[in-house]
Structure 1
């Protein structure tokens, strides 16, 4: 066979051959490290513990119990099979009316019933990922941009940019005010984009924040609404963690601002909310994403585009039954908040014992961990060097702040709700051993007046003492009924 001609046309598209997905990010590299060597309590006890995945597994038992008590909610049971034919044939991209009613009601419930949602404005999508992309397609053309406060979820680079051609312009937030979004930061980012000839079409906020785990207060939300109205740009409010808030201050939706704060000027056509059941209910595999827009044209366009990522009618049917059970929903949300609060206290308490602080937060499924004191230098190169040690030696997958576009080196997102109690305890013990080792190295470094990072940070993971601690019935982590170890 002859050599391929140099002027042969490219066979694949730029999307197929490019890196627009962002998979080369350290955020995804951590997942790959876990996939190669996943922790298992008995089969691989020295593997990598996954703390880079924002998944809520703390309430799975509540859902399982409900399903067992309501077999008719599934079309794949003897009790529910009589609806199989209708559900299997249903193709309306508006979605089941009962489903949209149930979702609208649930969205109100997760916001304390302080605001109501119109079922006719509920648009389905394949998870929040699909909802974000569809919204971007509706609001912006290739080359246009959205402002996004930092640090922000790395998946936004994929969700909003990859196939749409839209750009993201960071709004720099800093630790000096706990990464709170300010009018000054918004103005600076907006003006900088104008200087670079970038047309800003909207502002994307995440509330509660991923990765910070904080909620926006009313003053900040009013500032945001005033800003987008003045600039005549859209506001996309990602509220997928609305029901993960487990302590005060409570979550405030942008819907409350535009419906209750009558003294604020607001063009509702500019307001759009993204929601899903992935985080609040712990159903990422069901791919239930929601676009809720106050703009009729966006609703109509998004509904047509939803044909590319509909929620299956089987899922709609099940979710309708579950979310319409008021007693279950109330009990679920209350218990979920209780368990998240307990897990947060246990994890942050364990970190404090070894001198590690986190940004104070009260929502989400993660903490924003401050490891600036462990960096060799206050640089992102040092952050990634430390991250590699944590991945390969400590054997914990955490996500470095640079992958979230954080403006300051040394911050890490750590997820704590995607594992059982024993795995969490093992993770805390590994962190404790690592920090103690690092402290010893600092002492040696001070004595010798030169850096001294040992590579043999195996943390005695294979020691009998470590295993005994984890298996002891006197473990400080209480065993809840929902977290049975996988064996």
Structure 2
């Protein structure tokens, strides 16, 4: 096979030579050696990919029933509106209004793309010029770099909001003073601060922004003509912070609300919301993302740019049919939250027992944990070596801090929904046993 990369463009060569994620090769390896208590008791646990396995069977059964019991409509086999079929947009708008946003959502203010990554890519392509800067609080989702930069050419700026975990506790950390400082710094470099990107609940920390915080940040962005986007992809994956076993981890930082409430109040062209069904509804493989914006020009441009990124019609139809079953949706959300809480408590209890710091999560699928005291070397190399040692000695593949762009070394993300609870218990026993051994060496 021809391996001559000179046949590619510069960006093609870069993509061919540099993996999208540092853990991709190990993920492929571990995928061939998964833990099973009977057939492979020494197998691996994939705790690095943000998927919700806890409720996947519920969604699978529901979608299978829809396919078996209902006739496929004619429009599924034809071209449709590139922002999404009008009937499905109405259904999704009603779902968002009822469960996610808790405020009116006009179907004409939303558009669909094939997954969260496509929503990010198309939105940035329409909003920003190559070289413009998107400011993201660190630590944050590693793949934002590719999603924003590969085609749109937008630069990622990682806003360092804290160093030690206890500096923020479970409070979302972006402040106006940090934004003022960043705006001045970028202006001095002749760079355009184009977008402020917030994820709430956050990946990887699980922090949520209060309604007051969101409004304060939104007003700052409007004054400075900066687009503010809030990614609510984990908006229904919430932790019960009043649970008796974990409530001492939290302080009350105010009321929480979807960013859609702020958008409805301020009615600005600079405010936007992202959502996708991949996390809350365990369907990452179906690729269904949503943009909500009151900016009609953005939506018009999105309409024209989105054709290669449209959600398949059969996916739109299935999801639309599922969302129209309100009894199912309500039961599913309740069940999902209960399972999330059980898995989350299992993980944080294990870390409490060996006095490992973590950020108390208010939502998402993650625990962001500080293993820095187990580093042999306080450096990027030391962090990578600990990550590899954990994998090779326990079979647990975590997401290392590399890529999250946080200054402190030794931080790791654990996806506590990646496996069912009995498997997660085995995984945490392996991890804590190994960490105790490391400390006693």
Confirm or deny: 8 A CA contact 1:246 1:362 kept in the other structure. yes
Show CA shifts across 1:266-325 (max 9, x none): 461001111110011111111001111110011111122221111111111111111011
Return the alpha-carbon distance in structure 2 between the equivalents of residues 267 and 120 of structure 1: 15
Shift, 1:220, TM fit: 2.1
The corresponding residue for 1:189 is 182
Q: Secondary structure at the match of 1:292?
A: strand
The corresponding residue for 1:219 is 212
Q: Secondary structure at the match of 2:54?
A: coil
The corresponding residue for 2:130 is 142
Return the alpha-carbon distance in structure 2 between the equivalents of residues 397 and 229 of structure 1: 42
The corresponding residue for 1:177 is 168
The corresponding residue for 2:114 is 126
Return the alpha-carbon distance in structure 2 between the equivalents of residues 38 and 67 of structure 1: 26
Confirm or deny: 8 A CA contact 1:375 1:386 kept in the other structure. yes
Greater radius of gyration (CA): 1
The corresponding residue for 2:81 is 92
The corresponding residue for 2:54 is 58
Q: Secondary structure at the match of 1:268?
A: coil
Confirm or deny: 8 A CA contact 1:148 1:205 kept in the other structure. yes
Q: Which ranges in structure 2 are unaligned for 5 or more consecutive residues?
A: 242-251
- Report which structure shows greater RCO (CA 8 Å, sep ≥6): 2
Shift, 1:104, TM fit: 1.0
| Alignment counterpart, residue 237 of structure 2, candidates 218, 232, 244 | 244
Confirm or deny: 8 A CA contact 1:368 1:414 kept in the other structure. yes
Shift, 1:350, TM fit: 2.0
Shift, 1:257, TM fit: 2.2
Return the alpha-carbon distance in structure 1 between the equivalents of residues 260 and 333 of structure 2: 20
Q: Secondary structure at the match of 2:403?
A: helix
Return the alpha-carbon distance in structure 2 between the equivalents of residues 309 and 171 of structure 1: 30
Confirm or deny: 8 A CA contact 2:200 2:232 kept in the other structure. yes
Return the alpha-carbon distance in structure 1 between the equivalents of residues 29 and 216 of structure 2: 41
The corresponding residue for 1:304 is 304
Q: Secondary structure at the match of 1:146?
A: strand
Return the alpha-carbon distance in structure 2 between the equivalents of residues 124 and 21 of structure 1: 31
Q: Secondary structure at the match of 1:291?
A: strand
The corresponding residue for 2:247 is none
2:263 corresponds to 1:258: yes
The corresponding residue for 2:249 is none
Confirm or deny: 8 A CA contact 2:102 2:258 kept in the other structure. no
Confirm or deny: 8 A CA contact 2:239 2:361 kept in the other structure. no
Q: Which ranges in structure 1 are unaligned for 5 or more consecutive residues?
A: 1-7, 261-265, 442-487
Confirm or deny: 8 A CA contact 2:277 2:288 kept in the other structure. yes
CA RMSD of aligned residues (A): 2.3
2:4 corresponds to 1:13: no
Return the alpha-carbon distance in structure 1 between the equivalents of residues 218 and 26 of structure 2: 36
2:70 corresponds to 1:80: yes
2:96 corresponds to 1:107: yes
Q: Secondary structure at the match of 1:124?
A: strand
| Alignment counterpart, residue 35 of structure 2, candidates 26, 39, 43 | 39
The corresponding residue for 1:414 is 414
Distance 1:402 1:335, change over 3 A: same
Confirm or deny: 8 A CA contact 1:48 1:396 kept in the other structure. yes
Q: Report the more deviating stretch, 87-96 or 192-201.
A: 87-96
Shift, 1:88, TM fit: 1.3
Return the alpha-carbon distance in structure 2 between the equivalents of residues 180 and 29 of structure 1: 33
Q: Secondary structure at the match of 1:52?
A: coil
Distance 1:91 1:98, change over 3 A: closer
Return the alpha-carbon distance in structure 2 between the equivalents of residues 351 and 357 of structure 1: 7
Confirm or deny: 8 A CA contact 1:33 1:397 kept in the other structure. no
The corresponding residue for 1:352 is 352
The corresponding residue for 2:367 is 367
Return the alpha-carbon distance in structure 2 between the equivalents of residues 435 and 51 of structure 1: 17
Show CA shifts across 1:93-147 (max 9, x none): 2422221111112212333x63121111111101000000000001111111111
Shift, 1:9, TM fit: 11
Confirm or deny: 8 A CA contact 1:22 1:158 kept in the other structure. no
Confirm or deny: 8 A CA contact 1:212 1:368 kept in the other structure. yes
The corresponding residue for 1:338 is 338
Show CA shifts across 1:245-267 (max 9, x none): 1324774222222335xxxxx46
| Alignment counterpart, residue 26 of structure 1, candidates 22, 27, 31 | 22
Q: Secondary structure at the match of 2:367?
A: strand
Return the alpha-carbon distance in structure 2 between the equivalents of residues 297 and 228 of structure 1: 18
Shift, 1:24, TM fit: 5.8
- TM-score, L = length of structure 2: 0.89
Return the alpha-carbon distance in structure 1 between the equivalents of residues 127 and 202 of structure 2: 22
Confirm or deny: 8 A CA contact 2:351 2:357 kept in the other structure. yes
